[in-house]
Structure 1
Amino acid sequence: MDRLTLSSIIASAAFLVFLIVTLTWHNDELRPRVWQLNELLEQDPVLADYPYDFKVLLFINGVATLSSPHTSELPLRPVLNRFDPALADKPDTAPEVVAAERRWRAIELQAIQVMLRQPDVESVVWALDRAWYHKQRLPLPK
């Protein structure tokens, strides 16, 4: 392949990428649905006040996959201790810890409700946010 052909292919590809990004950026209908769903999560006032930002990672066939620092396989307590370091020295039965766990459950439910209000979202599944653990320097159990 000569240099002119290669330059033409690169220029055409760059222009195509520019065109797609420009059209998608300015037209809500062309923006990926994941972006639109994430904006809904960001705009929710209840979720905005919480220290963790839920994100839609994937949206396929009506199923929204949301990130979460907690799954049923992992204990919730280390996550809550990161959100509120004052909980670290308290027993699991302390009223503050119980309240934090209730709030977490309510926040999870709110994220689910925000998603299910969308007509094309049929269900929500959770995916462990391993990047959050890495940023917090928390070990993940094996």
Structure 2
Amino acid sequence: MDRLTLSAIIASAAFLVFLIVTLTWHNDELRPRVWQLNEILEQDPILADYPYDFKVLLFLNGVATLTSPQGSSDVPLRPFLNRIDPSLADKPADAPEVVEAERRFRAIEMQAIKVMISLPDVDSVVWALDRAWYHKNRVPLPK
């Protein structure tokens, strides 16, 4: 093995060690931003107390797309509320317990928005219907 080949092998090995050390040192920066945003949502104590876990599905150009059991005003909230609190199932829509459950859900949604908007790279939040939650909990979605 001549001197040039030996130097190339040593330089390649040194570069490989440098690359491995650099990648492990900055591991947090290499994780997808969606994972990081989901961890931030999980760490919020107010959101952690609620029986539904808001998740970031997509983060693109400063817009975070979060899952929600309502998603839009087209989907009624009541089936979700009945599932997380079965005592609401036989109550009328204007019952104080139902109104309070809806108010609490809206407050939790606003907390999820506040957590996301407080981050410097998040400009806005949009909601996406969490069809997986309805399927997993065997709650039929309206047609």
TM-score range for the pair, normalised by the shorter chain length: 0.7 to 0.9
Which residue of the partner structure matches residue 96 of structure 2? Answer: 95
Q: Unmatched 5+ residue regions in structure 1?
A: 1-22
Alpha-carbon distance change, 136 to 67 in structure 1, aligned in 2, over 3 angstroms = same
Task: Name the amino acid aligned to 1:29.
Answer: E
User: 1:24, 1:115 → 2: CA distance?
Assistant: 27
Q: What is the identity percentage for the equivalent residue pairs of Structure 1 and Structure 2?
A: 81
**What do residues 111-135 of structure 1 show as CA deviations (whole Å, max 9, x unaligned)?**
0000000000000000001100101
1:130 maps to 131
Number of matched pairs: 122
- SS of the aligned residue for 1:28 comes to helix
Task: Tell me the TM-score normalised to structure 1 length.
Answer: 0.81
Question: SS in structure 2 opposite 1:58?
Answer: strand
Report if the CA contact (8 A) 1:66-1:126 is conserved: yes
- SS at 2:139's partner residue? coil
Paired position in structure 1 for 2:60 = 60
Tell me if the contact between 1:64 and 1:125 (Cα under 8 Å) persists in the aligned partners. yes
Q: Deviations over 1:20-43 (max 9, x none)?
A: xxx589711111110110001000
What is the aligned partner in structure 2 of residue 31 from structure 1?
Answer: 31
In structure 2, stretches of 5+ residues that fail to align are: 1-22
- Structure with higher Rg: it is 2
Counterpart residue type for residue 60 of structure 1: L
CA-to-aligned-CA distance 1:5-30 (integer Å, 9 cap, x gap)? xxxxxxxxxxxxxxxxxx58971111
| Distance (Å, rounded) in 2 between the aligned partners of 1:92 and 1:103 | 15
TM superposition shift of 1:103: 0.1
Over 3 Å counting, the alpha-carbon distance change for 1:55 and 1:24 in structure 2 is farther
- State the secondary structure of the residue aligned to 1:37: helix
- The amino acid across from 1:134 in the alignment is H
CA contact (8 A) 1:63 1:122 kept: yes
**TM-score normalised to the size of structure 2?**
0.81
